[in-house]
Structure formats: structure tokens, C-alpha cells
Amino acid sequence: MNPADVAQSALPVASADVSLISLFWHAHFVVKTIMLGLLACSVWVWAIAIDKMLLYSRTKKAMDRFEQAFWSGQSIDELYRALAAKPTQSMAALFVAAMREWKRSFEGHSRSFAGLQMRIDKVMSVSIAREVERLDRRLLVLATVGSASPFVGLFGTVWGIMSSFQSIAASKNTSLAVVAPGIAEALFATAIGLIAAIPATIFYNKFISEVNRQAQRLEGFADEFSAILSRQIDERG
């Protein structure tokens, strides 16, 4: 190859701007839209992650405080009166729901014990399901972003490469200065897709584990409290 041709072909390469901002502004409209959508998903993922971390921390502390009060020897009637007067969540809501059903049966005029244990267990199961639903809310968004973002980014990459090949065909120039920017723009979409997907997948797995751990804790308390109420039913029945 003629050295002059090599020098001419190398000149555009040296002057080509391949910064991230330049890659975004020179990308095709479709690729830009995909990039902006993936960036928005990434911001949404981090917002959900911060909200969930605060929520799970508050829920864990609330469970610790309730268990400390419950096992401190305080009368469950006094604890119920203190908690029933204000909105409750988590383990306290489970306790209030069970005690409310208990008092409806024992303090009513009928004093019907038939099926009381089954009703209490059902009420606690419903309370656990509601609490898990509260903890699990919006985790599907993390799962969706984690699984779909790489493919959306790949679509942007494919579209960008198609546009690059069209530019090459139109210019009839296969030099690196023509090919490289288009390929870089295309791969930038995949990179943003991975930036959105990797944290979303990590957070989803972490939060699902936390939800399962707190659900098991609720179920354990429900079993213990059900056994306590069952003994009370046997004594009074």
C-alpha cells in the first residue's frame, strides 16, 4: 500500500471523536431512543432499590421491637389494646388480626369456639399474604429490567450496525474512520443495556431473598402464636 494512502486513512481516525457524548449525539434516532429508555430504566431500578432497602430495614426493626414487647411478659390483651389503636404492619398487623378474631369469638354473646382455631389460622395466613405482597411490590420491575435490558440494548446494537453498513455502502469507503464510529455507537447501546440489567438482577435476587426471610419469620411467629391461642381455647373450652 502507498504510504501516502496510509497517512490519509489514518488522519480521520486520529480526528474522530469517539467520546460517550459524541457517540450518543451521532447515533441513529432509534438507537438514541433505546439508550434514553435504558437510562430511564436504570434510574428507576436504583430508585426502587433505595426504597426497598429502606423498607426492609424499617420492617426488620419493627419486627424486632414487636417481638421484644411480645416476649417481654406483657399481657397480650394490653399489647393488643396498644397496637389496635394505631395502624400496624408486619408482625404487629398479624398479631392484631389474630387477636381481633379471638376477641370476636370470646367476648361476643355467643362465645362460640367451634372453628375458632381454623378462623384464627386463616386470618393470620391472609395477613402474611398481604405483608408479603407489600414487601414484594415492584420487584417484578427489577426482574423485567434485568432480563429484558440486554436484549433491548442488543436490538439497538443491531440497528446501529445496520445503519453503519448503510453509511459504508453510501460512502463507498471501508476505512476505519467510517466503520469505527458506527460500530462504537452500536455497542454503546449494549453497554447501557448491561448497565441497567446487572444492578437490577443483583437487587432482585437480594430482595427476593430478604422477602423470603421475612416471610419465614412471619410464618414462624404465626405458628407460635397459634399454639398459644390453641392452648387458651382448650383451657376455656
pLDDT digits (tens, 9 = 90+) for 157-199: 888 788 777 777 777 766 666 666 667 777 888 889 999 999 9
pLDDT digits (tens, 9 = 90+) for 43-83: 999 999 999 999 999 999 999 999 998 888 888 888 888 88
3-state class percentages of the chain: helix first, strand second, coil last, to nearest 5: 85, 0, 15
Separation between Cα atoms, residue 94 and residue 222, nearest integer Å: 8
DSSP string, 83-149: HHTS---HHHHHHHHHHHHHHHHHSSSS---TTHHHHHHHHHHHHHHHHHHHHHTTHHHHHHHHHHH
pLDDT digits (tens, 9 = 90+) for 87-102: 778 899 999 999 888 8
Residue spans of the domains in the chain: they are 20-236
Q: Buried (b) or exposed (e) across 33-55, using 16+ Cβ within 10 A? A: ebbebbeebbebbeebbeebeee
The grid coordinates of residue 154 equal: 442488543
8, pLDDT greater than 50: no
Nearest to 211 by CA among 120, 121, 158, 143: 143
